[in-house]
């Protein structure tokens, strides 16, 4: 249990925690707990955004601060995964060549564009959230960030293979059953009910839309690459978060 908690902290945050035992058992628990850590991170980001609003910042500035802080508190790990995944898949090369592109330290134009657009859309959507009463703003940010991490749990369900025999993907691919994603969907969906005043149904729909986009990305990566990698999981986080934010902002 403690090893799984430590692995979740070191994987999904910059918390200065020394990693314990790293094996399939600990990885499975860490992945199952991902939505909880996402919700906790969302609480922090929403709190900082609300403090900025209370200090006189506009909803746009509060949103920009919250999104930027989210990148910093995750060591930019997920946006890096998004950039690498888009570069690899966008190359239209065979699996081996695409995986080699994803391992390079540089970022191509596809990757840069994907990161810029994803963060821009997240800031725009979060701006709409911070213009709402604070309970709805809080629920919106928590829902969007938790949905991104829940997408990782879903991507690591049994039956999804790893693209490489080594690395994070090989450790976590297929490490959780269906119970963890199902419980996560229920929990995040309940929080989402409070995100859009007057249109409670829109919150759960936004969560499902974000997860659907992540499933499509996971399926595409599996067909193209032979499975998932750590970079693909980072891309899954950002895609699901962005789509959920957009859905929540529509209200």
List, for residues 121-164, the tens digit of each pLDDT value: 999 999 999 999 999 999 999 999 999 999 999 999 999 999 99
> CB–CB of 251/205 below 8 Å?
no
Task: Look up residue 174 and give its two tokens.
Answer: 């297929």
What are the tens digits of pLDDT across the range 16-33? 666 666 677 778 888 999
pLDDT of residue 26: 79
130 alpha-carbon distance from chain centroid:
20
DSSP assignments along 5-55, one per residue: HHHHHHHHS---------SHHHHHHHHHTHHHHHHHHHHHHHHHHHHHHHT
What's this model's pTM, rounded to 2 decimal places?
A: 0.94
Structural tokens at position 53: 């609003």
Confidence class for position 47, pLDDT limits 50, 70, 90: very high
Residue 16, pLDDT score:
66
Q: Which of 36, 4, 32 is nearest to 17 (CA)?
A: 4
User: At residue 4, does pLDDT exceed 70?
Assistant: no
| Top-confidence range, 9-13, 17-21, 226-230 | 226-230
| Bridge partner list, 176 | 157
CA 123 to chain centre: 15
The predicted pLDDT at position 25 comes to 78
Helix-, strand-, coil-residue percentages of the chain, each rounded to 5: 75, 0, 25
Domain range for residue 66? 2-249
> Residue 54 pLDDT more than 90?
yes
Residue 12 has pLDDT above 80, yes or no: no
Least confident among 92-106, 157-171, 199-213: 157-171
What phi-psi label fits residue 182: left (phi over 0), alpha (psi between -120 and 50 degrees) or beta?
alpha
Place of tokens 């959507």: 125
What is the number of structural domains in the chain? 1
């Amino acid at each position: 249990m403690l090893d799984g908690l430590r692995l979740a902290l070191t994987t999904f945050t910059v918390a200065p925690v020394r990693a314990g035992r790293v094996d399939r058992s600990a990885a499975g628990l860490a992945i199952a707990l991902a939505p909880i850590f996402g919700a906790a991170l969302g609480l922090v980001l929403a709190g900082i955004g609300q403090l900025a609003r209370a200090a006189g910042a506009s909803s746009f500035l509060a949103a920009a601060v919250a999104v930027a802080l989210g990148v910093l508190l995750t060591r930019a790990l997920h946006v890096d995964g998004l950039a690498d995944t888009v570069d690899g898949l966008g190359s239209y090369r065979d699996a081996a060549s695409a995986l080699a592109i994803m391992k390079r330290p540089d970022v191509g134009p596809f990757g840069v564009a994907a990161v810029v657009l994803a963060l821009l859309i997240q800031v725009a959507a979060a701006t709409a959230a911070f213009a709402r009463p604070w309970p709805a703003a809080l629920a919106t940010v928590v829902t969007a960030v938790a949905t991104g991490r829940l997408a990782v749990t879903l991507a690591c369900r049994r039956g999804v293979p790893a693209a490489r025999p080594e690395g994070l993907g090989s450790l976590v691919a297929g490490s959780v059953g269906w119970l963890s994603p199902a419980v996560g969907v229920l929990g995040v969906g309940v929080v989402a009910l409070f995100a859009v005043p007057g249109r409670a149904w829109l919150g759960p729909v936004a969560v499902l839309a974000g997860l659907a986009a992540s499933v499509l990305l996971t399926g595409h990566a599996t067909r193209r690459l032979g499975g998932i990698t750590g970079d693909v999981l980072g891309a899954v986080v950002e895609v699901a978060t962005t789509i959920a934010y957009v859905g929540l902002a529509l209200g």
